[in-house]
A and B are shown apart, each in its own frame.
Chain A
Amino acid sequence: MLKTRIIPTLLWKNFGLVKGEGFDSWRRVGTVLPAIKVYNTRDVDELILVDICATQEGREPDYESIAEFSCECFIPLTIGGGIQNLDHITRLLHTGADKITINTAAYTNPSLIYEAANRFGSQCVVVSIDVRRTPAGGYECYSHSGSSPTGRDPISWARQVELLGAGEILLTSVERDGTMRGYDLEVVAAVSSAVRIPVIASGGAGNYAHMADVITSGASAIAAASIFHFTEQTPLAAKHFLRTHGVHVRPEYHPSAGSSPAPSLPPLNLQSA
């Protein structure tokens, strides 16, 4: 059975890992490489690494750093931030990204989704959709790290990116981001039922029950950051909780007798990094 994925999100700004609230008030939480090494040893299912300044500063992805990070990552790595064209995507995939995620460029140049899916396959094209609630009670998509309203409705935009060839949607509630008050279940349910590609829910996880709730609402995977950075809660304990609540998650791997020990990376403490 296909497992529900637990995906820590690493936000990266000026050489450090950060976490904010509502896509603002950034706090420094460590450095990238040690964090990747830690998560590699902790049975997380994937990692998402986003350079949150690249688009706003109008620069390309930092290929050199990404090459360094991917070298230490033996689980799937999705890279985002600053991607504007097919050349950027090509370079990222060659550098060690397994999937790429685009947000702002998808609005300004939707054909990039189609071109990337056509060239590299839908499976490596993740479209990131950042949403805020509107005063009227609906939702609107935002670009440029949650700062620019696009006038688009997330449901029709999700359907459109699916048609263009996106393989997954990373759906983030800007208002819930960093609050640890729980996912915006309404928008997750609406988008998940509108498309047939997997939806990764992001923004608001504060405890394991929030994760169970958002899976019930239709998410195929859970992304989370603050809960892992700022609390004692861990991806492994999240899996234990979810398993007891009937969610299929990936168990820890234990080889059968007679195996040569699988090479493992040394455990590192994220806090001391």
Chain B
Amino acid sequence: MTLLVINYGMGNLASVGRAFEECGANVSISEDPRDLDSAERIVLPGVGAFPDGMRNLIKAGWPEKLREVLRNPEVKLLGICLGMQLLAEVGHEVAVTPGLGFIPGTVKRFIPLNGERVPHVGWNEINAAQPHPLLHTLPEGTDFYFVHSYHFEASRPKDVLATTQYCGKFNAVVASGNIFGTQFHPEKSSKQGFQLIRNFLAL
């Protein structure tokens, strides 16, 4: 399985690459959108702010090329953390910024309801909103590692695969067709993270 990790200057690329390699993928980390032609799986990682992320993606020409290769349903994309948020139509971090628009929705800052501390940092449970092969064998309430201040509000309930409780309820996993996103970091979520990565590779 060939897997390309998009290097747009926003990520913990080494960690992401290593985790997918450990789970059996043949990983390359690339700065060149043309490399997407040979990838069966694509990972959009991300640590950082939404506007910088979009600016860097656009500057290198990733959005058009991603749209092109993702027309093939056999090619699957996983966005992680900021990478998941960038799949949305609009982000509200720092300034209102258009996103990739791959999954309808908006990225908004957490508003504490009961004195919750923001950022949301640490291990928290995910609860499946619908059965999906990406969540195969992950028991209800499995903990994953989160670290974020913003969250993805999906416009369509059918795009939500799992939710997590914090400042109310937010979307932990979203999907539309061959495009997936996790707000948590599977590459930093130990054994359960590996399970989700293997599920993604097996889709």
Contact = CB atoms under 8 A, between A and B. Distances in A.
Given A5-B122, A70-B15, A98-B15, A253 B142 contact: yes
A262 B121 contact: no
A44 B82 CA distance: 24
Given A196-B117, A256-B138, A74 B190 contact: yes
Contacts of B193: 74
A96 B45 CA distance: 12
Nearest to A40: B190
The size bracket of the interface on B is: 35 or more
Interface string A61-97: 0000001001101111100000000000000011111
Interface residues of A, number: 51
B188 A3 contact: no
A75 B22 contact: no
B188 A123 contact: no
Interface string B122-149: 1111000000000011110011010111
Contacts of B15: 70, 73-74, 77, 96, 98
Given A2-B124, A99-B147, A263 B194 contact: yes
B195 A259 contact: yes
B13 A94 contact: yes
B27 to A, nearest CB: 12
B122 A2 contact: yes
Contact of B49 (A121, A167, A250, A264): A121
Contacts of B30: none
B34 interface: no
Interface of B: 11-15, 18-19, 22-23, 47-49, 52, 82, 93-94, 112, 116-125, 136-139, 142-143, 145, 147-149, 165-166, 185, 187-195, 198
18 contacts: A1-B124, A2-B124, A3-B124, A4-B122, A70-B15, A74-B22, A74-B189, A74-B193, A74-B194, A96-B18, A98-B12, A98-B47, A98-B147, A123-B121, A197-B117, A256-B138, A257-B137, A262-B191
